[in-house]
Structure 1
Amino acid sequence: MVMSLQYCPPDMACIWVLMMMMMTVPSIVGAQGPPPPGYYPSSRFNAINFDQGFRNRWGPQHQIVDKGTLTIWLDSTSGSGFKSLQPYRSGYFSAAVKLQPGYTAGVNTCFYLSNNEDYPGNHDEVDIEFLGTTLDKPYTLQTNVYITGSGDGNIIGREMKFHLWFDPTEDFHNYAILWTPDEIIFLVDDVPIRRYPRKSDATFPMRPMWVYGSIWDASSWATENGKYKADYQYQPFVGKYTNFKVSGCPAASPTSCQPPPTSPSGSGGLSHQQEAAMEWVQRNYKVYYYCEDPSRDRTLTPEC
């Protein structure tokens, strides 16, 4: 919305015009992107080819690697997923991802950490999930943390959801999880969007996890709590991954192994620049936070 004060009369109408202009400022700023974080952890690590760090986990007929780009897809017969060659107990894990445009409701395209195969019914998980959408709405990026079985049966998620300041279907963007013994940082193009600190042993994942990615039908919940389902007249639904970066402490590494630093100081936490960038993202693009949901039982999430 563009308005001019040239003909604004000195009355309440003028005040209303000013208020409307102020309300549009975040969207104008948003188009320019967040302030620079001043620290770019992705630049610390070299990219690896898919087969250097991963293997197919399921749906091999819906997965191809061509010129360094992994393509996985979902149709009415199957989705597909991949898994790292080894588990880690901390580290930096990222991939550049490009999403499918158009109607993708019900489709979950994700990159995440989990030990669900090692601890069935009692697993930990750290998620970056792209929740598909209808033709008139943007993708939702969901970050989530499950601890010791809170994602099994009695589901206790710790979701923070965002829209993005760019169209994730137009190009590849880098999405990362930086996991240390003290905190988890979620990053988009090196901009921290969420920090999940370790406030207690009971609310933080500490067992080794594998790195996964997949595309699958999550119609029961993914788009507006299941209101819109996957519609296979739009199949196949495609996710593209490239520029994989995995650097950390494998489960079998010595205790002296240290994860990558979360900030330029190397002392944990985020720098002032990183905090400012994260605050900007959350102020302008956060659409859900479990600690602010009045319908949630706070006794189940004591870290709130």
Structure 2
Amino acid sequence: MGNVSKTHRNLALLCISMALAATIAAGNFNRDVDITWGDGRAKIVDGGRGLSLSLDQYSGSGFQSKNYYLFGRFDVLMKLAPGNSAGTVTTFFLASEGPSHDEIDFEFLGNSSGEPYTVHTNVYSQGKGDKEQQFRLWFDPSAAFHKYSIVWNPHRIIFMVDDIPMRVFNNEAASGVPFPTSKPMRIICSLWNADDWATQGGRVKTDWSKAPFTAHYRNIGISGRPCGSAAACGSGVDTFSNEAWQTQGLDASGRNRVRWVQQKHMIYNYCTDRPRFPQGIPVECRRSRF
């Protein structure tokens, strides 16, 4: 009976993995991104289906989308550098240009061997962030590819892992909370050394004897209206289409999943860091999380 159950579980996991890959198989790194830095440490592979970033003691590497987007859904499969990754940061985020920029962050902070990565999320609007939430994943992100997604529409931002929502940041502009709604953003991904702060506040440094560190990206998926430049996006949302991301929120199942992630896997929440806000917690923290 145990073997039958195990077989069913393995088949289910295989089906899930195949489904995740299939849902974002349309993207192509040759078509959709430019390698922006790294002097050969970033490489597009498998005919554009994959891309690797490497970090050594001389440099990291990175890439960005060719187009800007004003709202959309952005997916990628990632497999992080294995082993002792202390001091390294692997990223998948959206960012606009300029000093008062907007930004939506997924950052993966490496750790010593045997310790899990810390997933750092943040939202910037008009150049101001300070909205950090951090998590420990329920799997080893260096052992296999997993899907990471950012949904950004005029109503909310949703961070997802394997289609499981882990964080929602609602548009509370009516209450005076800045929300990114007007500045087109690019997708940006990078692997770089941040051992002055990334692991245990900088106490654990990068072990360069383990270099090069390599992260793998696969099957980038972009669902949004592309803009040829930061000034050419118009209103962003295409009123003639009916793509789910334009109004995507959480149903009861999604709200339960967010609660599960935040209760079991959240390790830092700016909303509960009262010493940081002696004048009172931010306005958005006083309202419903969902």
| Structure 1 and Structure 2 fold alike (TM over 0.5) | yes
- The residue type equivalent to 2:253 in the other structure is Q
Once residues 244 and 213 of structure 2 are traced to their aligned partners in structure 1, the CA distance between those partners, rounded to angstroms, is 36
Q: CA deviation at 1:210?
A: 0.7
Once residues 41 and 99 of structure 1 are traced to their aligned partners in structure 2, the CA distance between those partners, rounded to angstroms, is 17
Partner in structure 1 of residue 93 of structure 2: 112
| DSSP 3-state at the match of 2:101 | coil
Q: Which moved more, 1:180-189 or 1:134-143?
A: 134-143
Partner in structure 1 of residue 101 of structure 2: 123
Partner in structure 2 of residue 139 of structure 1: 117
8 Å CA contact 1:45, 1:247 repeated in 2 = no
* CA displacement 1:148-177 (0-9 Å, x = unmatched): 112xxxxx4211111111111110000010
| DSSP 3-state at the match of 1:61 | coil
8 Å CA contact 1:91, 1:260 repeated in 2 = no
User: Cα–Cα, structure 1 residues 44 and 64, in superposed 2: closer, same or farther, change >3 Å?
Assistant: closer
User: Cα–Cα, structure 1 residues 107 and 208, in superposed 2: closer, same or farther, change >3 Å?
Assistant: same
Once residues 300 and 293 of structure 1 are traced to their aligned partners in structure 2, the CA distance between those partners, rounded to angstroms, is 8
- The residue type equivalent to 1:204 in the other structure is F
2:250 to 235, 252, 270: 270
Partner in structure 1 of residue 8 of structure 2: none
* Percent identity over paired residues: 38
Once residues 289 and 71 of structure 1 are traced to their aligned partners in structure 2, the CA distance between those partners, rounded to angstroms, is 31
User: Cα–Cα, structure 1 residues 45 and 95, in superposed 2: closer, same or farther, change >3 Å?
Assistant: closer
Q: CA deviation at 1:250?
A: 2.6
Once residues 137 and 41 of structure 1 are traced to their aligned partners in structure 2, the CA distance between those partners, rounded to angstroms, is 26
| TM-score, structure 2 as length reference | 0.81
Q: CA deviation at 1:223?
A: 1.1
8 Å CA contact 1:186, 1:194 repeated in 2 = yes
| DSSP 3-state at the match of 1:203 | coil
The answer to whether 1:96 aligns with 2:65 is no
Q: CA deviation at 1:41?
A: 9.6
1:216-255 pair list within 5 angstroms = 216-251=192-227, 252-253=232-233, 255=235
* CA displacement 1:55-93 (0-9 Å, x = unmatched): 111114111122122111110110001010111110011
Q: Name the Cα RMSD after superposition.
A: 2.2
Q: CA deviation at 1:272?
A: 0.8
Partner in structure 2 of residue 173 of structure 1: 146
Q: CA deviation at 1:219?
A: 1.2
Aligned residues: 254
| TM-score, structure 1 as length reference | 0.78
Once residues 20 and 79 of structure 2 are traced to their aligned partners in structure 1, the CA distance between those partners, rounded to angstroms, is 20
Structure 2 runs not aligned, ≥5 long: 1-18, 286-290
| DSSP 3-state at the match of 2:257 | helix
* CA displacement 1:260-279 (0-9 Å, x = unmatched): 435xxx75421111111111
8 Å CA contact 1:110, 1:213 repeated in 2 = yes
* CA displacement 1:112-131 (0-9 Å, x = unmatched): 0001xx21x22111011110
User: Cα–Cα, structure 1 residues 282 and 56, in superposed 2: closer, same or farther, change >3 Å?
Assistant: same
User: Cα–Cα, structure 1 residues 295 and 231, in superposed 2: closer, same or farther, change >3 Å?
Assistant: farther
User: Cα–Cα, structure 1 residues 268 and 93, in superposed 2: closer, same or farther, change >3 Å?
Assistant: closer
| DSSP 3-state at the match of 2:30 | helix
- The residue type equivalent to 1:72 in the other structure is L
User: Cα–Cα, structure 1 residues 88 and 300, in superposed 2: closer, same or farther, change >3 Å?
Assistant: farther
Q: CA deviation at 1:46?
A: 4.4
The answer to whether 1:286 aligns with 2:266 is yes
Q: CA deviation at 1:44?
A: 5.9
